[in-house]
A and B are shown apart, each in its own frame.
Chain A
Amino acid sequence: MTGTRHGRTLRGRAEPLPFAVPRSDDAAVQEERLRRFAALWSRAVHPATSAPLSRTEFEQYLLPLAARLRDALHARPFDPAPGAEVGAELVRGHCTDPEALPLILGAVDAYLVLYCPPDDGVPADESRARCTRLQHSLAAGFARELRERTLAEQEAISRAALAAQAETEQALHTSEARFRAVFEGAAIGVGIADVQGNITDVNDALVRMFGSLDAPVAGRNVGELVHPDDAPEVWGLYAELVRGDRDHYRVEKPYYRGDGSVLWTDLTVSLLRDAAGRPQYQLAMMEDITERRLLHERLRHQATHDDLTGLPNRTLFFERLGSTLEPGSPHGHFGLCYLDLDGFKAVNDSLGHAVGDQLLVAVAERLRGCATAPHELVARLGGDEFVALTTGPRAQRDVTALAHRMLTALADPVRLDGRDLSVRASIGIVAGRAGEADAAEVLRSADITMYRAKAAGGNRYEVADADSDARAIARHDLTNCLPGALENGEFFIEYQPLVRLADGTVRGAEALVRWLHPVHGVLGPDQFIPLAESTGLIVPLGRWVLEEAARQARAWRSDGRCRVPLRVNVNLSPSQLRYPALVAETVAVLDNAGLDPSALCLEVTESALIGADEDQLRPLRQLADLGVDIALDDFGTGYSNLAYLRRLPVSTLKLDRSFTRGMQCVPADPVDVKIVEGIVSLAHTLDLSVTVEGVETGTQADRLRILGCETGQGWYYARPGPPERLHTLSLADAASCPRH
């Protein structure tokens, strides 16, 4: 037992057993033989090893193994077991290739007995047999160790794989847990869907945003989440993303909440791909921007809408018009109504701005109802100016219908503060195609067309056409030139004599204002008085005429050659009648001229006085009381409520020329004669004198005289002319018409 242990220890140190080979001088020889065996063994096996050892290193590794084989070969009793240990050692030394085994055994078989023969106690064939048994044992040891090693390595690598997998799972779990925390706790809405659009996962924030318990978002398809206000490009971007042509997109997108209200989101969608790069999932992150957007919309609404009426304002209108008119605009055609209330200034002046504003609100409300289609827009440009725009292929036809609707909508009086206000409006219509004109040109055309409607009596629409535009533009230019014209002294006055029919004497003249326009030449009052009325210039212009006429009358009167003191007739426009300082200014003018009030006759049109109440008549009455004559001009063209005449402070009727035209011919129209006879009779009953306009023939003059008319005026006597001519006429009268 002890011997065995001793022996094993010694064998482990690969030293020769003292009892196997007696210490002798042979020892050195035997060691050298062993080394040579190891060298041969190494040379044979090294090519088949996987060991990263040089051949020299490998030989060093083999040397103790060679010693063990030698010792086993020599041992008594013989035990082949060390062969198995050598086999195992070789595997541990990385001779793991099965191809190495024949090389290992071949070298042992060939060289072990040869280089390390046992002593004489072992016969030669016994030595061969021992060597063979050692080889069998070595092969078994090699195989056993190779199997052990293989199994151990397989187990090690499997264990490593499991460990790595567990670690990866853990890392994944951790990152998932982190992601979950972010996902669940995020303030922004997060949703995940596959590339078919099936929504698989949404977080609480998203559910809260949608506020939808009854219509959950998860389980639905992204494609169902369309909204009418989606930007046009949204679904194209979506298609690109799920196809894999795009990795991200960001848009502002509306959704329906569970209750049907709108949820506006700032939406970012990202594509998640699998390891091979194929689109796999889409990740949507959305922020609720409904409030922000509402605020933005409110600000935008404020900037683009009129405070008073709530209608779109000038800014929005011009935006819309501009985009409509852009060349290549999808709208193609457009129609525009430019609406201006008739006489709105009078409402403001007489009833105050508060009522005026209420009226505008009421008008806006009615106009709003006229244009409700998406392609229609009603806006207030300012003051009492409104516009309506319609677009689309039928715009040119639609626009007149629109104008008609607007006028109809305003037809019923507006009731304000218990008072019914009639609303009238004039509309200028422009229709056309995109790309033909810019917004400013279109609006100008509409504006002047509106003025044409106004000039035609108002409460109507007119459609722009080139010729009318040209005329209207001329008119427009006149309006613009008017203020300057007065300053530049471009106005002058012509006088048409008023002749006493009884004796043909010149009693005075009507002052008629003319405008010597630097471009258009002499213009009559018909061409500019309405413009002066509408611009308010009538007041200074009227004052100037009055001053001039008064000065002229004074001049005539100072002229000693005149036998009768000449009087002057001056026209008063309706606006002047409403001018508060009329009486005071008239008195001042007469004073300045040194003219007696009786030398002045103010002519007021019948239409200006119709419907006037006592307040409105008061200035005239005051002037009449001062001694100024008041003539009712154009009598017979208006309402002609004869009973009404009693109340008016007038002293003269000026009979319109239309009544007397029938008397120019022979025989005279009997109906005209009867009418004039009746008027004259009525006038005289009311203590009014009668002046006849448009006397063109002597016959006519004679008949009028016979019918009792006091005064005549017309080409028969003289056309309007410079004041000097009146002298001549007056003197001629004296010469040719002796007193009857």
Chain B
Amino acid sequence: MERPGWAPQGIDLSVPSVSRIYDYYLGGSHNFEVDREAGRRAIRAFPGMPRIMQANRAFMRRAVRYAAGRGVTQFLDIGSGIPTFGSVHEVAQEADPECRVVYVDHDPVAVAHSRAVLEGNERAGVLSADLRKPAEILRSAEVGGLLDLERPVALLLVAVLHFVPDEDDPWALVAELRDALAPGSLLVLTHAATAAGQAKPEEGEKVKEVQHVYRTIGSPLCTRDHADVARFFDGFTMVEPGLVPIPLWRPGPGDAAGEGPAADDPVLAAGFAGVAGVGRRP
């Protein structure tokens, strides 16, 4: 059938993707030149960018191990992006082969790649859906087939909520997801943050430049202050040490604060690049 001229367009690979830029920060090659160009611009403005992403990855690894260590073996990772070295299912299934993971992303390329990576893994699946439609995620065949919502689930919202503007009320979205989770479930969250009074003016300018990069690719970056991020944990009990700069959340041996390279980074230590926390649903 002839395709009518007024039909909407398909995937536009000329537009940078947040997932592929993230992969580029992490040293991966799951990206195209447009993504690398955007990533380079962000790095030029904010050279600590790859370090922040590594910190995110490292936190996620620690948090997943923390969850598995407490018997939470179901993971719902929303905004999962491109699976690279040390993905949730690798970490989790290394800790406990019975762990089940559902990845969710709204980037069709990231979803397709995840599907290829997870080929043959019966305890992990991927779903193309949008965080702004929690009901679609919760009612999906992937979640229904892999997760038992009557039992605790670790909900991962790592480096994703800062792409949801206030107009879409991300707090309500998180609350809707929370209400579907059984007691004992965990919320694992990181968020690009601003800490008023601690940031130097020139660093504020850098953040603005990074925000400009993300705005031009159609995914504006909404940094939020500590209190606003803390509101995502409404209905959860914070796990020690609470909501802290990402590297400071339960650092392992060898990367304890003040000892490892991450802790040496003043940007990270100020909490300027982001905060992390884990909450438990009572």
Question: Across the interface, which residues of A come within 8 angstroms of B112, CB to CB?
Answer: 159-161, 163-164, 167
Give min CB distance, A423 to chain B, whole Å: 67
C-alpha spacing A307/B253, complex, angstroms: 102
Contact A157 B261 (CB under 8 A): no
- The one of B8, B26, B260 in contact with A55, judged by C-beta atoms closer than 8 angstroms, is B260
Give min CB distance, B188 to chain A, whole Å: 14
- The one of B108, B111, B261 in contact with A46, judged by C-beta atoms closer than 8 angstroms, is B261
Q: A156-B30, A176-B1 are in contact. Are A52 and B10 (CB under 8 A)?
A: no
Contact surface of A with B, Cβ cutoff 8 Å = 46-47, 50-59, 94, 96-97, 149-150, 153-154, 156-157, 159-161, 163-165, 167-169, 172, 176-177, 180, 192, 200-201, 272, 275, 280-281
Contact A275 B29 (CB under 8 A): no
Give min CB distance, A91 to chain B, whole Å: 10
C-alpha spacing A563/B29, complex, angstroms: 150
Chain A, interface SS category: helix
Give min CB distance, B275 to chain A, whole Å: 18
Contact A54 B85 (CB under 8 A): no
Give min CB distance, B130 to chain A, whole Å: 15
Give min CB distance, B175 to chain A, whole Å: 30
Give min CB distance, A202 to chain B, whole Å: 12
Residue of B nearest to A177 (CB): B1
C-alpha spacing A683/B32, complex, angstroms: 132
Question: Across the interface, which residues of A come within 8 angstroms of B6, CB to CB?
Answer: 192, 200-201, 272, 280-281
Question: Across the interface, which residues of B come within 8 angstroms of A161, CB to CB?
Answer: 11, 13, 32, 109, 112
C-alpha spacing A245/B8, complex, angstroms: 22
Q: Give 7 CB contacts A-B under 8 Å.
A: A51-B54, A54-B251, A54-B255, A96-B27, A156-B116, A165-B108, A200-B4
Give min CB distance, A40 to chain B, whole Å: 14
Residue of B nearest to A47 (CB): B261
- The one of B10, B26, B260 in contact with A165, judged by C-beta atoms closer than 8 angstroms, is B10
C-alpha spacing A58/B85, complex, angstroms: 14
Question: Across the interface, which residues of A come within 8 angstroms of B117, CB to CB?
Answer: 156
- The one of B8, B10, B20, B254 in contact with A57, judged by C-beta atoms closer than 8 angstroms, is B254
Type the 1/0 row for B18-54, where 1 means its CB is closer than 8 Å to any CB of A.
Answer: 0010000011111110000000000000000010001
Asked if B113 is at the interface of the complex by the 8 Å CB criterion, the answer is yes
Contact A160 B85 (CB under 8 A): no
Residue of A nearest to B25 (CB): A50
Give min CB distance, A620 to chain B, whole Å: 93
Q: A52-B57, A54-B58, A272-B6 are in contact. Are A159 and B251 (CB under 8 A)?
A: no
C-alpha spacing A200/B82, complex, angstroms: 41
Asked if B139 is at the interface of the complex by the 8 Å CB criterion, the answer is no
Give min CB distance, B204 to chain A, whole Å: 27
- The one of A52, A159, A172, A272 in contact with B58, judged by C-beta atoms closer than 8 angstroms, is A52
- The one of A96, A163, A165 in contact with B115, judged by C-beta atoms closer than 8 angstroms, is A163
C-alpha spacing A164/B126, complex, angstroms: 13
Asked if B86 is at the interface of the complex by the 8 Å CB criterion, the answer is yes
C-alpha spacing A407/B261, complex, angstroms: 112
Q: A159-B116, A163-B112, A164-B11 are in contact. Are A153 and B5 (CB under 8 A)?
A: no
Contact B255 A56 (CB under 8 A): yes
Contact B252 A164 (CB under 8 A): no
